[in-house]
Structure 1
Amino acid sequence: MRIGVLGAGAMADALGTRWAAAGHELMVAGRTADKARALARKWGARAGDFREVAEFGDVALIAVLYQGMPATLAEIGDALRDKPVVDCNNPVETEKFTLVTEAGRSLAQDIGQATGGHVVKAFNLCHARVWEMDPPLFDGRRLVVPYCGDHSAANDLTRRLIADIGGEPLLVGGLEQALHLEAMAAVVISLLFGGRDPHTVFNLVDGAPVAAGL
């Protein structure tokens, strides 16, 4: 699979490294060109500008701090139209740990509206160090990775990308659920800023039947 990685920070590094190891072909763009080129060398990939990378991928990962998202989307233009787009970002301010998007809307929905892409929310509930784990195991179980989206083919690609890093994919609904995943992330981020280990996660389900009444 050809994956365009839009962003060159810690999340892009962690996920891109795992996908490159799984045999995918990557291309990367970043706000800092030197960082993008360094990741490209690490992955045996190529670097380019945001539009080039968006056009390259069968699927794109957007991993950009929310403060830089408008400028990034402007550079991408319409290059993601009708393409699967994985959004791992969290629009969370770190004073009161609340969402900064318009009430009732998620960043994922805003990205979809701006790009015309088929956006899937995924990988947003953990610190980058969790995605560096090979595989991400907690209590001997694979990490459950919730994702949501409205487009079946984009959801299927995201499921594959989650499985490729050793996670347990969990579809939680359409893209309207992205708002709730972003709100869950605000809780995780507040814990991390409070000093919790970066490997803190929601250990969501283990596949066992839930007892009646619980």
Structure 2
Amino acid sequence: MAETATPAETANVDHVRAARRSPGQHLAEAFASGSVPGTVTLTEIPYQTMVGIRVDRESDGGARVASLTGGLPAACGEVTGAGSINSLWLGPAEFLVVAPEEAHDSLCGSLVADLTAALGSDPGQVVDLSANRTTYELSGSRARAVLEKTCSLDLHPRVFKAGTALATELAHIPVLLWKTGEESYRVFPRASFADFLGRWILDAMREYASPEVP
């Protein structure tokens, strides 16, 4: 059973939340006005907990880490998960764990500490990367068309299936691209590129926001 946060812990959480500014926060109004529900919509999902893992998935440490994350991907593009915690494949022994913001240790969560404890003294690495990237969600019937303007991946649904995540580039910016549904994608740019990429995606959406587009 989860412990109830003390008043001091609650005050600290409130302070952390108030102090944060997401990399795409200043674009929220532009995203909303440039989106057409059902056709193409762009939003930011800020402050997700992200943890970089380096571990041999076949080792004891890998097995303990996998027990917390719902498994570790075995192949390029694979995504594993247990509920709201998902692991994306970055390499044969490198993974990105993505979870809701509440899982972060600074908000009375314990994901980073739990993964560090699970790895123990086994070879590997657990690194908090939550501030390294933000998350853009692009969805709608024209979402794939927007991405295809610059992405070199074959995004046809026969090839790039829902539940797949791959490293690629959008507008020459390195990103992770995760197809979360048939018409929905999550894009993970590094924070320093978030402004440029957000504006580029918004511009690429513009033709589909026209009333002349069926």
Q: Give the TM-score normalised by the residue count of structure 2.
A: 0.26
| Structure of higher RCO (CA pairs closer than 8 Å, 6+ residues apart) | 2
Report which of the two has the higher share of strand.
2
Q: Give the TM-score normalised by the residue count of structure 1.
A: 0.26
Report which of the two has the higher share of helix.
1
Q: Which structure has the larger Rg?
A: 2
